[in-house]
Structure 1
Amino acid sequence: MITALKTQTRKARWLSAAVMAPLAGLGLTLVAAATLAADEAATIRAALAKVLPDYEPTSVKPSVVDGLYQVDIGPQVMFVTADGRFLIDGAIVDLKTRENIAEAAQAEARQRVMAGVKDEDTIIFPAKDPKHQITVFTDIDCGYCRKLHHHVDDYNAEGISVRYLFFPRSGVGSPSYDKAVSVWCADDQQAAMTAAKNGEQVAKASCDNPIQEQMALGGELGVRGTPAIVLENGEMVPGYVEPKRLAALLEDATDQASN
């Protein structure tokens, strides 16, 4: 700001001291506000460290609500008062715009985390003419997961690529978990996934696999049941969604993002 003012000195000679004084005061106010925000963020970090010593906040920043800070811990989002005393974990709705501020922040966090998931770390059924991509946390033995997969060609026809991550709800060591491992370790993962979803026997196989990591990621993202569909904007849609309806949801999300 100071450098910009210096370069404009000749053009700005006509500005009176009365006009420039408020600008200088504004600069001091911004510096003071930034310092205060940094102090409050440090207070919040210290308070959280006492109750959540194993978790380091990714970021602590002022929210759109005065006196309330947004705290990101990986894919998790919470809101904490400036004094670090009160934590809000739930909906925060702007009554003017009807927007759920907390869910919007959570979606951004999910989007950021999912952007780091590479295709090679998923089992992907790509669309020939891709317009959108969804990531689905799935369970081999879940009825609606099977219904979703039965329509995977229809999703692809709508321009939707489908990436699968495993989330066997019955846990590590269960038959569903073992099936997930066998599918992942199969020579043809896509064929094995389709066979397993059709209730067919898949050859038992084992190898180094990311199933437990995928389950942990799902837990961090808030997956409670399957299928759980994560859209490109980070929104999570629980359950089965018919292909054309999902395509419409994705188009609406794209339109909102561009406006």
Structure 2
Amino acid sequence: MRIILLVILFAFTLVGHTNEDQLREKIKKNYPDLIIKSIYKTEFNDLYEVFTQDQIIYTDVNFSFLIVEGRVVDPKSKIDLTGKRLEELTRVNFSALPFEKAIKSVKGTGERKIAIFSDVDCPFCKKLEKETLSKLDDVTIYTFLFPLEMHPEAEKRSKRIWCASDKEKAWNDYMLNNKMVKNNGDCKTPIEDILLLGRNLSITSTPTIILSSGKKIPGAIPLKDMREYLAAP
């Protein structure tokens, strides 16, 4: 009897994997450039969740429709299930980040920790620095230089900041006072490594904040919100 049950369970497992594999093939046939990280059958009838680089889309096992920007919401609890699931799928392993390739700033005890992917010429990054980060206490901030292609001078300026004898001061001088350090920026920098890391973490905009819990937060969030995030367990 036990052997029969095991065979049945194994058969169901094979069917599940077969459905997901077949669905993956159908999607890739129509969208060959789409990067699919995972496919998961939800609890809602024949609805499948397809996780791409930074987005969840929905379809059925036959790929007969696509829901690209829809949200699944629990009608009783009113919880955004799509948002909750996306947060789980995009969570970062904070302790595995290459902190030696970041600009480190310690405020007060530095007991709380955050990481930020930031572009030197991003206006929202400067807003975050001036209105939020500069007013925090007891936090260690790891800033990863992440110049975007839309800012043609950002990579050159990032290199000059990294090559400064005091990286933290050079960063703050430029972001808070628009004063660039004087050097040629010709030292070895980790910028290419950070750009690759950002792509692997599906970071597409700046600033992007990563809490020690691994939660990603995009944008120049207000000081009040940041303090609430840091106070959360």
Say whether the fold is shared (TM-score over 0.5): yes
Two-structure CA RMSD over aligned residues (Å): 3.4
* Structure of greater relative contact order (alpha carbons < 8 Å, 6+ residues apart): 2
2:163 equivalent to 1:185? yes
Partner of 1:171, secondary structure, is coil
Partner of 2:140, secondary structure, is strand
Distance 2:76 2:9 in 1: 27
**Structure 2 gap segments, 5+ residues each:** none
TM-score where L is the length of structure 1: 0.69
- The answer to whether the 8 A contact 1:108-1:233 is kept is no
Partner residue in 2 for 1:46:
25
Partner residue in 1 for 2:121:
141
Report 1:1-259 matches (<5 A).
30-54=9-33, 57-73=36-52, 76-90=55-69, 91-112=71-92, 116-150=96-130, 152=133, 154-155=135-136, 157=137, 159-169=138-148, 171=150, 174-197=152-175, 198-203=177-182, 204-212=184-192, 214-215=194-195, 217=198, 221=202, 223-224=204-205, 226-231=206-211, 232-242=213-223, 244-252=224-232, 254=233
Q: Say how many residue pairs are matched.
A: 227
Partner amino acid, structure 2, of 1:221: S
Shift of the 58–100 alpha-carbon distance from structure 1 to 2, 3 Å rule, reads same
The alpha-carbon deviation at position 36 of structure 1 amounts to 2.2
Give the helix-richer structure, 1 or 2: 1
Distance 1:43 1:64 in 2: 19
The alpha-carbon deviation at position 227 of structure 1 amounts to 2.8
TM-score where L is the length of structure 2: 0.76
**Matched residues, percent identical?**
20
Distance 1:68 1:200 in 2: 53
**Structure 1 gap segments, 5+ residues each:** 4-23, 255-259
Distance 1:79 1:248 in 2: 32
